[in-house]
């Protein structure tokens, strides 16, 4: 079994620090992906990697966050104040164990990073809502599914 340190990935932020983009080049499991996301966000936002991972796992245990067309919407909901972000994660290889309702395997994740204390009328929350409403359009889903990197997805959103 490979170590997480062996996983090839790239990460970046958008110019306005709204998006955190992660591209994963190697085949990994859902647990390894959650660990990678937690580590990346912890490093960038100075948050607890353990708390980030626990939040991702806890939400996934309540209900599978996969959507369809290989897309999933896990979230990190923290008690502490945090500036809301959207993490775009594109995998070069699908996670076979993580199936969507349409039987496709996940290769694209949009991870919401938010605080329970976030103000619903804040500009960042309004921006997140606007983005998530786009997923109701099958054409948007199709185009996102064809993107090869998190950067391509960001440009489309």
Q: What's the mean pLDDT in 125-149?
A: 92
Residue 12: what pLDDT? 59
Element (H, E) at 82: none
The 3-state DSSP composition of the chain as helix, strand, coil percent (nearest 5) reads 40, 30, 30
Cα separation, 11 vs 150, whole angstroms: 9
Whether the predicted pLDDT of 8 surpasses 80? no
Q: What is the pLDDT of residues 80-127, one digit of tens each?
A: 899 999 999 999 999 999 999 999 999 999 999 999 888 888 999 999
Phi and psi at 147, nearest 5°, equal -65, 145
* Confidence band of 47 (pLDDT split at 50, 70, 90): very high
Residue 120: what pLDDT? 83
Structure tokens at 141: 């889903």
């Amino acid at each position: 079994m490979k170590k997480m340190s062996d996983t090839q990935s790239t990460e970046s932020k958008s110019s306005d620090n709204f998006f955190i983009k992660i591209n994963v080049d190697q085949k990994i499991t859902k647990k390894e992906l959650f660990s990678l996301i937690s580590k990346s966000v912890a490093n960038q936002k100075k948050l607890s990697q353990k708390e980030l991972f626990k939040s991702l796992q806890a939400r996934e245990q309540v209900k599978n966050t996969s959507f369809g067309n290989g897309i999933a919407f896990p979230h990190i909901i923290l008690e502490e104040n945090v500036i809301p972000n959207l993490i775009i994660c594109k995998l070069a290889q699908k996670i076979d164990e993580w199936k969507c309702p349409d039987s496709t395997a996940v290769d694209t994740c949009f991870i919401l990073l938010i605080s329970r204390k976030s103000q619903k009328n804040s500009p960042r929350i309004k921006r997140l809502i606007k983005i998530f409403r786009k997923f109701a359009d099958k054409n948007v889903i199709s185009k996102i599914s064809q993107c090869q990197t998190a950067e391509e997805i960001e440009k489309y959103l």
